[in-house]
Amino acid sequence: MGIPLRVLILEDTPTDAELEVYALKRAGFEPDWTRVWSEEDFVAALSPDFDLILADYQLPQFDGARALQIVQERGLQIPFIIVSGAIGEELAVSLMKQGVTDYLQKDRMARLGQAVVRALEQKRDHEEKARAEQALREREASYRELAQRMERQATMFDTLLSSVPDLLYLFDTDHRLTYANRALLELWGKSLDEAVGKTYAELGQPDELVRKLTAEIDDALKGSVVRSELGYTNTAGRSSHYEYYLAPVFDPHGQVVAVAGTSRDITARKETEDLLRNAREAVERQQRWLEMVLDLLPLPIIMVEPGAGRMLFSNKAADRVYGAPIPKEPVDAVATQVFTFTDTAGKPVPAENIPLARAARGERLGGEEAVWHTRAGTFHMNFYSEMLPATYGHAPVAVLLCQDIGHLKGIESSLRESIELLKRERELREMFVSTLSHDLRTPLMAARMSAELLARRAPTHSTVPMLQGRIIENIDRLDGMLQTLLDANLVRAGERLPLQVQPCALRRIVREVIDDLTTVHGDRYRLETTDELEGFWDPHLLRRIIENLLNNAVKYGDPVAPVVVTAEGGYEEVRLHVHNEGEPIDPEIQAVLFEPFRREPARSHEKRGWGIGLTLVRGATESHGGYVTVDSAPGRGTTFTVTLPRDARDLQPGGRHHGGTRVARTGD
């Protein structure tokens, strides 16, 4: 691949132009060439993009000299080589003087490559020289401009230093003054000529000042920056206080060559600082006294900066409520950590609406109630706030007063609970007395009537055995009721019911209870268990568990749908399920369903009873070491599940795990 070369050839003979191109290729170039032969075409094709112009000297209406003139008039620096058939030496010299780069005769075309290389090198040298000369001219202009600017800046700097009220000065490495501005010279009462070149001692300064400044200049000469203050009395006898700096001045090699200094009169500032310090101390004393007074108060008090919301103060009572010193930060920054509030209904109070945030906004609180949750506990409080205006130089401040009403809330809650308990006890007592009087009156009346009939008839009358049996039956019913009350009282007191454990078959007992209840309720029960499920239980208590659950299912369940009884067992325990369709039991009622005298309010007015049936179910189940649960929800009815261990012998009196009080039972 040859060297790219864009060539403009001025030649009227095509073959000569092709010979020139051939010679260039022989010399290692890859010419991109354009041939023209008239002045008009030459002018049109001429462009600074050409690297070389090869021109015949003699053309029909044009010549090489005119072509060179056109190139020069356009200011183009393109190597121009004359390639002609015959040219005299005198003419060649003249053309070279006019600016022709080189010339050669057409019969010596082999020299064209060398001539082109030489011409291109001359062009490159010329361009580099031109660039260097231009750069030199630009640098010289830049230096002249810089010198002028530095001179102007020096004048401005000198004027500036002279007008500055601060004292500015410069010392050499021998501690001699080399510069002082007008303010320093006026302080000394000297001219620049009188001061320059002298040390502090030679300037007549006090010995103590000379020793101090000499040592500090030495420190600056070692590379340190010195800051200090001193008092000075000028020639007019006026005393002032100055703050000054001494700093080393380094040369390009990092060597200290001078020390620059500046001093500022801070007399007025020192006087102001003294006044402020005295005032601040007075305010701090007053504030400490006020804080001591506020710390003695039992009510929590918090002060906050209005608008910004920055907490300014909290007394010891407030810190005790929080459980630690309350952070003195903006309210919104610590609202979630320090000020967590809920309203009286337990709903979280947004950070922007907490009492302190409202007080910071200027709102006046008049005993609004909220609950403050802190690391020390939960506090029911009334909140009061007032805005203290700016007075006696103090900024305005919002004051929040907190009154703990937790003990009042406790008393109120206790009173409310006591009232509710009394109302409930009264209702239960009235219901119990009504039910008990009704239930006891029935067997008593039956026994009395039977006794009266028995008294009027002869001992041999055929109805005597029947009447005697009825009397015994009703007395047994009374005894059973009394035993039920005694057992309910045991359960309510947290005692176990005494067990008389013997081998039992759960399915057989369930079957017997269903057969007995069928005579009362009809064919309402369906037993879906075939396994006998044998174990060791108290058969009497087991029967009472089953009777209460089956009666309860018929009493409160769907009046048409059957009550389904299922049971299954494992190695260690058995489970009995009693399911009925119908309206579910309210979740709130489920939570207290097994407590004494608890009945579903929606149905209590429809069904008579003592409200202790499920309590006895729970007591009898737990006395066996088991437990009872209820599952009730819309769409799936109600299911009571009793879970019993297979063997309850250890829980009967004298057993290893027996606990509670043994109570004698009758009528079992």
Q: What is the reported pLDDT for 616?
A: 86
pLDDT band at 249 (very low <50, low <70, confident <90, very high): very high
Whether the CA torsion 95, 97, 98, 100 is positive or negative: it is positive
pTM above 0.85?
no
* pLDDT 10s digits, 600-652: 544 444 444 556 788 889 988 998 999 999 999 999 999 999 999 999 998 88
Residue 667's pLDDT band, with cuts at 50, 70 and 90, is very low
Integer-rounded Cα radius of gyration of the chain: 60
Dihedral class, residue 223 (left if φ above 0, else alpha if ψ from -120 to 50, else beta)? left
Rounded to an integer, what distance in angstroms lies between the CA atom of residue 388 and that of residue 396? 6
Minimal CA–CA distance to 302: which of 280, 283, 275, 321? 321
Residue 197 is predicted with a pLDDT of 92
Any bridge partners for residue 167, and if so which?
263
The Cα 597–Cα 591 span in angstroms is 14
Strands (E), 389-480: 397-404
pLDDT digits (tens, 9 = 90+) for 470-517: 667 666 656 665 666 666 666 666 677 888 999 999 999 999 999 989
Identify residue 450 by its one-letter amino acid code: S
For the beta carbon of residue 304, count every other beta carbon within 10 angstroms: 24
Region 546-569: what's the mean pLDDT?
Answer: 93
pLDDT digits (tens, 9 = 90+) for 79-100: 988 888 767 777 878 888 888 8
> Quick one: pLDDT band at residue 293, thresholds 50, 70, 90?
confident
Q: Average pLDDT for residues 526-546, to the nearest whole number?
A: 93
User: What mean pLDDT is reported for the chain?
Assistant: 82
pLDDT band at 589, cuts 50/70/90?
confident
Cα 31 to Cα 12, 25, 362: the distances in Å are 19, 7, 91
Rounded alpha-carbon distances, angstroms, from residue 396 to 259, 290, 302, 326? 51, 16, 14, 21
Question: Between these two residues, 460 and 665, which has the higher pLDDT value?
Answer: 460
Q: Give CA–CA dist 524/554, Å, rounded.
A: 8
Q: What is the set of domains in the chain, with CATH numbers?
A: 3-131 (3.40.50.2300), 164-265 (3.30.450.20), 297-404 (3.30.450.20), 412-477 (1.10.287), 494-651 (3.30.565.10)
Calculate helix-pair angle for 464-492, 613-623, nearest 10 degrees.
70
pLDDT tens-digit readout, 47-85 = 888 988 888 888 888 888 888 888 888 888 889 888 887
Strand partners, 82: 55, 103
Question: At residue 429, does pLDDT exceed 80?
Answer: no
Of the listed ranges 409-423, 557-571, 600-614, the one predicted with least confidence? 600-614
DSSP single-letter state for residue 40:
H
pLDDT of residue 487: 66
371, 424, 425, 589, 596 from 417: Cα distances, Å: 21, 10, 12, 18, 18
Q: Which residues contact 71 (CB under 8 A, 6 or more apart)?
A: 46, 53, 78, 80
526: confidence class by pLDDT, cuts 50, 70, 90? very high
